[in-house]
């Protein structure tokens, strides 16, 4: 009788890897790069059809692969008693070196089959001489992975090498747990990458917020809104992948409940079920962190637009100060211009030897200075809405004066309207 090694890993001409262990009917097969997971197969049609027929891959799985589904979970039973379970995984990996590049999509397919064999006594894993714990149904198990992540292959090899490999013949969902935890580690790494990118965007935008009083163009000119929106998009993709994974775990738990209806109280089944619950909590934990990152990047986007608006306001304020200074200078010289225009008098007579000043030159100052003072006082009153005499602390509030006079902002400019309103109020009080 030919003996088989504990496990083998080899690559066929079709470009797939195979990990086998045959002693008790367990056959773990991992197919990597045998075909692109999405779209039509680019290789020989006979090769792809042979693979589908040889392992009796469900048509639903093939259709889902060709239509690039976000995620899927299915299970069906054949007439010969074989059960088939399949899943699709999908996630986006952002480019860490350049956010201008489109994210790379992680796509993986999972097919698990098991066929009942005979009841077999199961012993503890750490002892082959201990008495059997329970007599339980065993299964011939097959596993196919399309484009599996490296973490899944590593965990499968470790599982086959360990004494735990026999548990898959009693509860095939142990292999589903391996696939889920491998996918979690990959998605959790993606979530941390997204978190680090968002943290960098936050630090950059906070540094810019501290420079809001500056009118330097560098505060906003090199603000990359495209990069910030790309980080937000990566967070959305990650949450989508986590939601899909959580749905997969929930579907796995419900199907594992059905699978274990006859195994209630069995420690192996209960341990696998607890592990599946733990995987769901892990995905939820990563989702909570990513949802927080999504809220943070939304706040960053809002702050970026506020910085643009505040910078424009600072520039406009700086420009308005210059215009205001020019206006004040013009305001000071307006009275002098008005007086000289009115009188049109020559105050200076340039003689051959010296310049003579007109005796009426004092009239210019007598008229211009009070007029300038009146104009400046009116301007200050319009700025502060109060009149304050230079030598007296008494102030007259223009707003209060207008209110007392019946000149509110709504009724200003129409004395008849104000009077009618007052008469109407008096009439209401009399009634």
CB atoms near residue 428 (< 10 Å)? 8
For β-strands 386-388 and 348-350, DSSP reports them as unpaired
Q: What is the pLDDT of residues 287-297, one digit of tens each?
A: 999 999 999 99
**CA 422 to CA 17: how far, in whole Å?**
94
CB atoms near residue 192 (< 10 Å)? 15
Give the burial class of 123: count Cβ atoms within 10 A of its Cβ; 0-12 exposed, 13-18 middle, 19 or more buried.
middle
Do residues 236 and 190 lie in contact, with contact meaning Cβ atoms separated by under 8 Å? no
Q: Which residues contact residue 102 at a Cβ distance below 8 angstroms, ignoring those fewer than 6 apart?
A: 95
Pick the range with the lowest mean pLDDT from 31-45, 158-172, 342-356: 31-45
Q: What is the pLDDT of residues 373-404, one digit of tens each?
A: 887 887 777 766 555 555 555 454 545 545 55
**CA 28 to CA 21: how far, in whole Å?**
7
Evaluate if residue 370 carries a pLDDT over 80.
yes
**CA 152 to CA 112: how far, in whole Å?**
14
**CA 245 to CA 286: how far, in whole Å?**
11
Sign of the Cα torsion 36, 240, 187, 230 reads positive
**CA 201 to CA 275: how far, in whole Å?**
36
Q: How many residues in total does the chain contain?
A: 431
> What's the pLDDT at 404?
54
Do residues 27 and 55 lie in contact, with contact meaning Cβ atoms separated by under 8 Å? no
**CA 357 to CA 350: how far, in whole Å?**
9
Give the burial class of 171: count Cβ atoms within 10 A of its Cβ; 0-12 exposed, 13-18 middle, 19 or more buried.
buried
Do residues 339 and 240 lie in contact, with contact meaning Cβ atoms separated by under 8 Å? no
Torsion angle of C-alpha atoms 79, 84, 88, 89, degrees rounded to 10: 170
> Is this prediction's pTM over 0.85?
no
Do residues 110 and 86 lie in contact, with contact meaning Cβ atoms separated by under 8 Å? yes
**CA 328 to CA 380: how far, in whole Å?**
11
- What 8-state DSSP symbol labels residue 21? -
**CA 99 to CA 88: how far, in whole Å?**
27
Q: What is the pLDDT of residues 259-286, one digit of tens each?
A: 877 666 678 888 999 999 999 999 999 9
Task: Name the helix (H) or strand (E) containing 360.
Answer: none
> What's the pLDDT at 243?
94
Evaluate if residue 143 carries a pLDDT over 80.
yes
What are the sequence ranges of the domains in the chain? 8-121+135-313, 345-410
Name residue 85's beta-bridge partners. 75, 112
* Backbone φ, ψ for residue 18 (5° rounding): -140, 130
| Residue 177 CA to its chain's centroid (Å) | 28
> What's the pLDDT at 294?
92
Do residues 364 and 336 lie in contact, with contact meaning Cβ atoms separated by under 8 Å? yes
Q: What is the pLDDT of residues 165-224, one digit of tens each?
A: 888 888 999 999 999 999 999 999 999 999 998 998 888 888 877 776 655 665 556 677
What is each CA distance from 170 to 47, 159, 261, 266, 302, in whole angstroms?
Answer: 32, 15, 14, 11, 55
Do residues 389 and 399 lie in contact, with contact meaning Cβ atoms separated by under 8 Å? no
- DSSP states of 43-94: S-HHHHHHHHHHTT--HHHHHHHHTT-S-EEEEEE-TTS-EEEEEEEEEEE-
CB atoms near residue 165 (< 10 Å)? 21
Name residue 84's beta-bridge partners. 76, 113
CB atoms near residue 16 (< 10 Å)? 19
Pick the range with the lowest mean pLDDT from 30-34, 168-172, 303-307: 30-34
Evaluate if residue 258 carries a pLDDT over 60.
yes
Evaluate if residue 32 carries a pLDDT over 60.
no
């Amino acid at each position: 009788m030919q003996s088989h090694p504990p496990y083998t890993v080899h690559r066929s001409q079709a470009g797939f890897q195979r990990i086998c262990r045959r002693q008790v009917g367990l056959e773990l097969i991992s197919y990597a790069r045998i075909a692109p997971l999405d779209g039509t197969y680019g290789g020989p049609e006979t090769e792809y059809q042979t693979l589908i027929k040889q392992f009796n891959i469900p048509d639903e799985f093939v259709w889902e692969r060709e239509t690039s589904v976000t995620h899927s979970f299915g299970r069906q039973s054949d007439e010969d008693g074989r059960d088939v379970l399949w899943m699709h995984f999908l996630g986006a990996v952002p480019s860490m070196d350049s956010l201008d590049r489109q994210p790379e999509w992680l796509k993986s397919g999972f097919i698990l089959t098991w066929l009942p064999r005979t009841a077999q006594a199961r012993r503890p894993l750490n002892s082959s001489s201990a008495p059997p714990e329970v007599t339980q149904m065993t299964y011939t198990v097959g596993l196919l992975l399309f484009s599996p992540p490296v973490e899944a292959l590593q965990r499968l090899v470790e599982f086959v090498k360990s004494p735990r490999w026999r548990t898959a013949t009693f509860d095939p969902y142990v292999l589903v747990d391996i696939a889920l935890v491998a996918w979690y580690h990959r998605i959790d790494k993606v979530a941390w990458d997204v978190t680090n990118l968002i943290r960098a965007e936050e630090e950059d935008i906070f540094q810019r917020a501290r420079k809001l009083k500056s009118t330097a163009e560098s505060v906003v000119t090199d603000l990359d809104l495209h990069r910030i929106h790309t980080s937000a998009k990566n967070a959305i993709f990650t949450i989508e992948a986590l939601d899909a994974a959580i749905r997969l775990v929930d579907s796995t738990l419900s199907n594992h409940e059905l699978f274990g209806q006859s195994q209630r109280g069995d420690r192996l089944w209960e341990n696998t079920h607890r592990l599946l619950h733990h995987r769901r909590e892990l995905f939820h934990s990563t989702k909570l962190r990513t949802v927080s990152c999504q809220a943070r990047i939304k706040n960053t986007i809002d702050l970026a637009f506020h910085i643009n608006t505040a910078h424009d306001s600072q520039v406009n304020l700086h420009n308005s100060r210059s215009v205001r200074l020019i206006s004040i200078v013009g305001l000071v010289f307006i009275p002098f211009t008005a007086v000289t225009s009115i009188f049109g008098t020559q105050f200076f007579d340039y003689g051959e030897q010296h310049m003579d000043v007109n005796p009426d030159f004092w009239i210019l100052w007598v008229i211009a200075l009070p007029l300038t003072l009146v104009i400046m006082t009116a301007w200050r009153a319009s700025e502060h809405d109060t009149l304050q005499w230079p030598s007296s602390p008494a102030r007259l509030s223009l707003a209060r004066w207008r209110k007392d006079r019946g000149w509110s902002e709504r009724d200003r400019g129409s004395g008849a309207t104000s009077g009618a309103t007052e008469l109407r109020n008096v009439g209401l009080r009399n009634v």
